[in-house]
Amino acid sequence: MAYIIAITGGIGSGKSTVAHTFAKLGIPLVDTDIIARQVVKPNSFAFRLIVEKFGLSILRSNGSLDRINLKKRIFKVPSDRIWMESLLHPVILKKSQDSIFSINSPSYIIWIVPLLIENRSYLFRANRVLLVDTDYQSQIQRAMKRDNMKYEEVKKIILVQSSRQNRLSFADDIIDNSGYPQDIRDQVIRLHLYYLKLAKKFQITLSIRDIRSISGN
């Protein structure tokens, strides 16, 4: 079993940028956003339920879900957002765990979970929480540019997500993503060396536990 570092952060904080910096160092990634895309592929069980609830207007011309349009819609109606989360989160969590257990990593795994703090079922499956933190205006600007969303639309999402202060209270480690790309790399390398040490201790602990279990002590 690998040591699990869960990366989280608010919309537009730069979680993917940080995660892929770890990947360049040879660390495996398990991305819940990629898994979320997979579980809503056309003709999947979740896909059919979503189309049944929201109608054909949330589909692209090629028949796939218009995820940006759907995101805008569910953040306007809290009950719709709760319905979506109830449908998708258990499936995403299960597939995440399957992916993690299938990876034979000698060190640690980066698990990208945007709603880690909001959904405690994810939180308790991580060995350590890494928060990607940035200032409010940077969040707004990045999300608007990436998802082609309006200011008010992004603001609604931020208000629904866990507060910055709450995320900070759960974080074991923090990466500040309010500066330059080189700053990210330096912070990742520092944490990478630290995580290698933690993962090694974790594996030793597991080995001792296994030996005691076999010996009956």
Phi, psi of 10 (to 5 degrees): -70, 170
Number of domains in the chain: 1
Quick one: average pLDDT of 99-124?
A: 89
Q: What is the pLDDT of residue 215?
A: 58
User: What pTM does this model have?
Assistant: 0.88
Asked if residue 201 lies in contact with residue 127, where contact means CB atoms within 8 angstroms, the answer is no
**% pLDDT > 90, the chain:** 68
Q: Is 3 exposed, middle or buried (0-12, 13-18, 19+ CB in 10 A)?
A: buried
- Looking at the predicted structure, is the pLDDT value of residue 140 above 80? yes
Q: Indicate the average pLDDT of the chain.
A: 90
Q: Which domain holds residue 97?
A: 3-210
Reference 199, options 50, 47, 2; nearest CA is 2
Instruction: Provide the token pair at 174.
Output: 């923090």
215 found inside a domain: no
> Residue 38: which CATH number?
3.40.50.300
Give the pLDDT score at 39: 94
Least confident of 49-53, 103-107, 134-138, 170-174: 103-107
Q: Tell me the mean pLDDT in the region 195-217.
A: 78
